[in-house]
Amino acid sequence: MLRRRNFNIQAGVNCVLCASGLEEDIYHLLFDCPFATRCWHKLQIHWDLSLGLHDRILQAKDASMLSFFMEIFLIAAWEIWKLRNAVIFEGVHPTFHLWTVRFRDQVQLQLHRFKHDSASLVRTWLTSL
């Protein structure tokens, strides 16, 4: 969107989270990027890249055994996006460890949104990662 508005804030339009040299778009950033793939693998979420965005998410949700899949998906995607922005705007060096720490911290912060019994499941799941 920034490029369409001629507001170029980075040197190029390529993904800043990987060295693939590919242009960043939502599909690359959240699903195709090797960095994002590693994040999803850590969470044991696997995507059918042949599906459209909506169907891809629904298929992964159905394949997941997590009753809190959507919450985890949203937090993970949000943390990938925030790390991408930190690279561009703050010069942060993106590491998988940094993403993992931020993801865990954000899940901990969001635990108050879960029902008590669900929060317990999320805590257990989080410690198993």
Q: Please report, for the chain, the start and end positions of each structural domain, with discontinuous segments joined by +.
A: 26-128
For residue 61, the one-letter residue type is K
Per-residue buried b or exposed e for 96-109, using 16+ beta carbons within 10 Å of the residue's own CB = eeebbebbeeebee
Which residues, 6+ apart, have CB-to-CB distance to 86 below 8 Å?
A: 92, 94
115 pLDDT band (50/70/90 cuts)?
confident
pLDDT tens for each residue of 86-114: 998 899 999 999 999 999 999 999 999 88
Assess whether pLDDT exceeds 90 at residue 12: no
Q: Let me know: does 60 contact 45? Beta carbons within 8 Å.
A: yes
User: Between residues 23 and 86, which one has the greater pLDDT?
Assistant: 86
